[in-house]
Amino acid sequence: MAATNASGTTTVRYGGMRAHVLALEVVLPGGRVIRTGSRARKSSAGYDLTALFVGSEGTLGVLTELTLRVHGIPEHAVAVRISFPTLDAACGTAVAAAGAGLGVTRLELLDAETMRAVNAFNGTALEESPSLFVELAGAPAAVEGDLEALQELAEENTSFAVERDPTARARLWQARHNVLHALVAAYPGKEHFATDVCVPVSQLPAAIAHARAELDRAGVEATIAAHAGDGNYHVLFMLDPADPAELARARALNAAIVDWALEHGGTCTGEHGVGLGKIAYLVHEHGDLLELMRGVKALFDPNGIMNPGKVLPEPAGAPG
């Protein structure tokens, strides 16, 4: 389920989606069809089962219909690409822009390595340095005022490109949209493995500096992209599938990155979900909630037939 929020072009899960999902049709494991929520913007009618299903990764029921709250297309929008001499300068500007009350509708960060891959893939000549991609939207006068404020906040920039025409804006955003394709093309034969922590936005510069330092210390090649407006960032490892040591190193780095995020008020997964790969991190983050979560799972899916084995760890002493 895709949505555009402060994190822009990404697919977001329930942390970002909940406010936009008004109602659901769900098929329960026994085949019964239920409807949660309503088309009203708010409701206090009983427990919020809509929120419980959104982000449950198919483990409680099958979502067959979603009613979303939609928003009008803004009257005016500009797309901005800003280059910085350092990752820290880009992160600092992102935090300032996210907190300044500007009409920021997308706020994305790509590191220098990602920009290099994007240039190679798209045949472009963009500055290969840490870059922010920003969308400002709203009334024309407000957008132009916000643009001036953004330029002041980005005082360390080495380039500041603004596009107003819809076609040019789409071209500017294409660099961001193509990131995964660009990285796959830049590392032929490799497989990608991504971290997904989300931290309080104010912690983003320190979080990314920590991740970058850990990567450098381990001598591991990886790129960093952030949905900076949400404090959500991904370290993307491109791994040789024939070398299990590479995956082991990436996993160890991911563990260090998750530990740092949890120590600083964050979460192990901003949008990708738990699945199988983050069950141990969920235990670390919400160990005190596992009993309740298991109870919810047993209530909705007593026979354990919905996406079995995902999200929650097997109870201690259980087979397998």
Question: Using the rule CB under 8 A, is 85 a contact of a copy of itself?
Answer: no
CA angle 275, 59, 40 (to 5 degrees): 110
Query: Residue 271 in contact with residue 229, Cβ under 8 Å?
Result: no
Question: Using the rule CB under 8 A, is 205 a contact of a copy of itself?
Answer: no
| Structure tokens belonging to residue 276 | 């199988």
Question: Using the rule CB under 8 A, is 8 a contact of a copy of itself?
Answer: no
In sequence order, which residues have a C-beta less than 8 Å from that of residue 2 and are 6 or more positions away?
A: 10, 11, 12
Question: Using the rule CB under 8 A, is 233 a contact of a copy of itself?
Answer: no
Q: Which of 66, 274, 301, 306 is close enough to bind a copy of itself by CB under 8 A?
A: 274
Q: Considering beta carbons, is residue 55 or 130 the nearer one to a copy of itself?
A: 55
Give the residue ranges of DSSP H helices in the chain: 14-17, 49-53, 87-99, 112-122, 140-153, 166-177, 179-186, 204-218, 244-263, 279-286, 290-300
Q: How far apart are CA 247 and CA 237, in angstroms?
A: 9
The residue range among 81-89, 173-181, 212-220, 265-273 that interacts with a copy of itself, by the rule CB under 8 A, is: 265-273
Query: Residue 201 in contact with residue 95, Cβ under 8 Å?
Result: yes
CB of 151 to a copy of itself, least distance (A): 15
* Contacts to a copy of itself from residues 287-306, by CB under 8 A: 288-289, 292-293, 295-297, 299-300
* Contacts to a copy of itself from residues 109-148, by CB under 8 A: 138-142, 144-146
Q: How far apart are CA 234 and CA 200, in angstroms?
A: 15
* Contacts to a copy of itself from residues 36-65, by CB under 8 A: 36, 38-49, 51-52, 54-56, 60
Size of the site for a copy of itself (CB under 8 A): 82
Rounded (10°) CA dihedral 96, 101, 103, 107: 30
Q: Which of 82, 153, 175, 198 is close enough to bind a copy of itself by CB under 8 A?
A: 198
Question: Using the rule CB under 8 A, is 14 a contact of a copy of itself?
Answer: yes
CB of 115 to a copy of itself, least distance (A): 25
* Contacts to a copy of itself from residues 152-191, by CB under 8 A: none
Query: Residue 240 in contact with residue 248, Cβ under 8 Å?
Result: no
